[in-house]
Amino acid sequence: MAGKSKPIKLSQGEMEIMNLLWQNGPLSISKAHAAFDRPIGYTTIQTRLNRLAEKGTVKKSAERPTRYEAAISQDSVSAGHLEQLIENVAQGSVVPLVAQLLSDRKFSEAEIAELKRFIDAAETN
What would the pLDDT profile of 40-83 be if each residue is shown by its tens digit?
999 999 999 999 999 999 999 999 999 999 999 888 877 777 77
**Is residue 18 exposed (0-12), middle (13-18) or buried (19+ Cβ within 10 Å)?**
buried
User: Domain check: are 118 and 70 in the same one?
Assistant: no
Closest alpha carbon to 78 in 14, 28, 5, 7: 7
User: Domain check: are 25 and 61 in the same one?
Assistant: yes
Res. 89 pLDDT band, cuts 50 70 90? confident
Taking the C-alpha atoms of residue 5 and residue 10, their distance in angstroms, rounded to an integer, is 15
Range of the domain at 112: 94-125
Taking the C-alpha atoms of residue 52 and residue 14, their distance in angstroms, rounded to an integer, is 7
Quick one: pLDDT at residue 5? 59
Closest alpha carbon to 97 in 81, 74, 113: 81
Higher local confidence (pLDDT), 33 or 89: 33
Residue 42: inside a domain: yes
User: Domain check: are 16 and 61 in the same one?
Assistant: yes
What CATH code is carried by the domain that includes residue 22?
1.10.10.10
As beta bridge partners, residue 27 has 68
Total number of domains constituting the chain? 2
